[in-house]
Amino acid sequence: MRFELLADNIKAFAAEGVRYLELQFGLGGLSHNDLTPLTDEEALSMMETRLAQPDVASTGLEVRFLEMVLRFSPAAEATQVETYAWVDAHRSRWVGINMTGIEENGKGYPLRFLETYRRLRSEYPTLPLSIHAGEMDSPDRNIRETLLLGASRIGHGVNILGDPDTLRMLQHSNRTLIEINLISNRLLEYVPDLQRHPFPELLRTGVPVCLNTDDRGMWDSNLTDEYYTAVTHCNLSWTELISLGRNSLQHAFVEKPVKSRLLSEYEAAVAAFESRFNIGTVQDALAELTSVAPVTYDYGKANWGFRFARPTP
């Protein structure tokens, strides 16, 4: 069942026009139909067999995985060690680690994990880290301390404006991507008023940012909704808009040759789009847009009045 759900998600993302997917996905705790436990390698073989079937392979979507560590778990350090070992041994499909959860209750604070990450870095080659940080309501040093852990991507980062020194560093380093989740941040009330979201300030002061859905299953939303939210709330220019997709690929954890290909394909697709729709008058362009079949889910229907079809897996 888990592999069928994975296949359905890949096909849904592909139908939305996504070209590269880093999905949080693990193989632990699986069993045969008779409840006999599957070894990790058996599960891996079954997964690869399912992804090689024509309905998935024909999408052309490049898929890689992140393993998750829940930061406020009492066993988070042990999970870090196990996760590092798994990802390092399966780098052809798993490309990094995503440490999730907010820094709350004295359990998820970044420096709790500094010693473990340093020890693991001494044992393994470089392994990319995406770590949630800056989700608390009040200013703190959590983003700065998360960078000490070795994160090259920060999830959320909504309170970054309360740490000017770290903000200034991010504006000039171009090393760290902030993963922006507008809809999730609003619905979880991290930033109830999106006019106060730090996204446009980051975008327009040189901090690399991209858009993500975060809890798309919970909100029944997709990237169309995220981009539409960004455009309507922040008056994005075309240059700013296409920079978001470019940033997501430039900071992807996928191996370099594949990343280079994906970036070339992205630039070609943008150029083709501009050539197709940058024609005549605005009315001419809008008439041409009627041939485009966008995808939306219930979030877009409820909040924007969209009536586009959702893909059938």
Confidence (pLDDT) at 283 = 83
Which residues does 85 contact at the CB level (< 8 Å), separation at least 6? none
Q: Is 44 exposed, middle or buried (0-12, 13-18, 19+ CB in 10 A)?
A: middle
pLDDT at 143 over 70: yes
Q: Which two tokens stand for residue 287?
A: 């008439």
Mean pLDDT of all residues in 47-52 = 97
Predicted local confidence at residue 242, as pLDDT:
97
Section 74-100 average pLDDT? 96
List the domain boundaries for the chain.
62-282
Structure confidence at residue 296 (pLDDT): 81
CA–CA gap between residue 121 and residue 196 (Å, rounded): 37
Q: pLDDT band for position 51 (50/70/90)? A: very high
The reported pLDDT for the residue numbered 282 is 78
Q: Global pTM?
A: 0.92
CATH class of 62-282: alpha beta
Checking if the pLDDT of 308 tops 70, the result is no
State the pLDDT at residue 312: 62
Place of tokens 């993302």: 13
Cβ within 8 Å of residue 298, ≥6 positions away: 220
How many helices, marked H, and strands, marked E, lie in the chain?
Answer: 15, 7
Q: What is the pLDDT at residue 310?
A: 66
pLDDT confidence of residue 313: 60
Residue 237's pLDDT is: 95
In this prediction, residues 175-181 reach a mean pLDDT of 96
User: CA–CA separation, 231 vs 2, rounded Å?
Assistant: 35
Whole-number pLDDT of residue 311: 63
Rg of the chain (C-alpha set): 20
End-to-end CA distance of the chain: 14
What is the per-residue pLDDT for 191?
A: 92
Confidence bin at 94 (pLDDT 50/70/90): very high
| Cβ neighbours for 22, distance < 8 A, ≥ 6 positions apart | 64, 65, 66, 95, 96, 252, 253, 254
* Secondary structure (3-state) at 79: helix
pLDDT confidence bin for 164, thresholds 50/70/90: very high
What is the mean pLDDT of the segment spanning 31-40? 88
pLDDT tens sequence across 106-133? 789 999 999 999 999 999 999 999 999 9
Q: Are 100 and 113 in contact (CB under 8 A)?
A: no
Helix then strand then coil, % of the chain, to nearest 5: 50, 10, 35
State the DSSP string of 217-259.
Answer: HHHT--HHHHHHHHHHHH---HHHHHHHHHHHHHT--S-HHHH
C-alpha distances (whole Å) from 119 to each of 12, 123, 140, 251, 304 are 39, 7, 26, 25, 49
Contacts of 115 (CB under 8 A, 6+ apart): none
Mean pLDDT, all residues of the chain: 92
Interior angle at CA 194, CA 131 and CA 150, nearest 5: 15
Question: Residue 98 pLDDT more than 90?
Answer: yes
Strand order, beta sheet including 177-180: 20-24, 62-70, 94-100, 129-133, 153-156, 177-180, 209-211
Q: What is the pLDDT of residue 76?
A: 95
The residue ranking higher by pLDDT, 231 or 103, is 231
